[in-house]
Amino acid sequence: MNTAAFFDIDGTLYREGLITEVFKKLVKYEIIPAERWYKEVKPEYDRWDKRKGNYDNYLLKMADIYIEAIRGLHRSQVEFIAKNVVSQKGDRVYSYTRNRIKWHKEKGHKILTISGSPVELVREMAIKHEFDDYVGAVYIRDKNEVYTGEVIPMWDSESKKNSINMLVKKYNIDLDKSYAYGDTSGDFSMMKMVKNPVCVNPTRELVKEILDDSELCKKAHIIVERKDMIYKLKAEDVNYI
């Protein structure tokens, strides 16, 4: 059986959310009116930036507008934007995560990503960072390759659990030897399923869930990367504040 490393992308590999970069492109190309950023998204961003709001709320607000914005667009338009975003921003990753991908490759492990970002973006990041396979949120297209406004999400914990089960069967993976890297509560199921769970700059919500789970708390590690320093902590040694 194979050992695998499951990686989230947004906030785990990429230092922010890729959906943020796509959103900026859609505003630049006037697909999303600029005032929607100022009226709907920026207030959520400001709350998070001042540490008064939830980071997930900020990302989900952009995701909601993204769903509306691409309705009626052709696949080629979204793929063009995705390629541009990754070409320009794809190296903006955490040193820790980049090094772990390299380490897993050297060990001969399967390198897999399960991300809540649109699959078009996930595909480009998977190609750039040489993942063996990828799963992302699927935005439905009609027979003419035009987006309908419907989406199969991949940002929630249950969807990621189902994707891991699919990949386990596909690649004959031994979860008792495998690793998972994530940063939000949507990654909780990944943490639960593997032998070696690692939280990379995690949100308060994910840390709380882990500390409330006695079994997971004993095996999880927390990585904090700030400036040019990387701190590694055992979850059981962390005091939740």
- pLDDT by residue (tens digit) across 169-184? 999 999 999 999 999 8
Mean pLDDT for the stretch of residues 63-79: 88
CA nearest to 7, candidates 108, 107, 94, 120: 94
List pLDDT tens digits, range 98-150.
Answer: 999 999 999 999 999 999 889 999 999 999 999 999 999 999 999 999 999 88
Q: Parse the chain into domains and list their residue ranges.
A: 4-237
pLDDT at 74: 93
Segment of 47-51, 54-58, 204-208 carrying the highest mean pLDDT: 204-208
**Cβ 174 vs Cβ 2: under 8 Å:** yes
CA nearest to 75, candidates 135, 118, 32, 116: 118
Neighbouring-strand partners of residue 179 = 5, 196
Residues 6+ apart with CB under 8 A from 44: 53, 57, 58, 61
* Confidence label for 31 from pLDDT (cuts 50, 70 and 90): confident
pLDDT over 70 for what percent of the chain?
A: 99
Mean pLDDT for the stretch of residues 206-227: 93
Kindly report the pTM of this predicted structure: 0.91
Distance CA 190, CA 161 (A): 6
Distance CA 106, CA 182 (A): 21
The DSSP bridge pattern shows strands 229-234 and 221-226 to be: antiparallel
Region 4-237: CATH code: 3.40.50.1000
pLDDT at 130: 95
Q: Annotate 203-220 with b (16+ C-beta within 10 A) or e (fewer).
A: beebbebbbeeeebbebb
Dihedrals φ, ψ of 54, to 5°? Answer: -100, 130
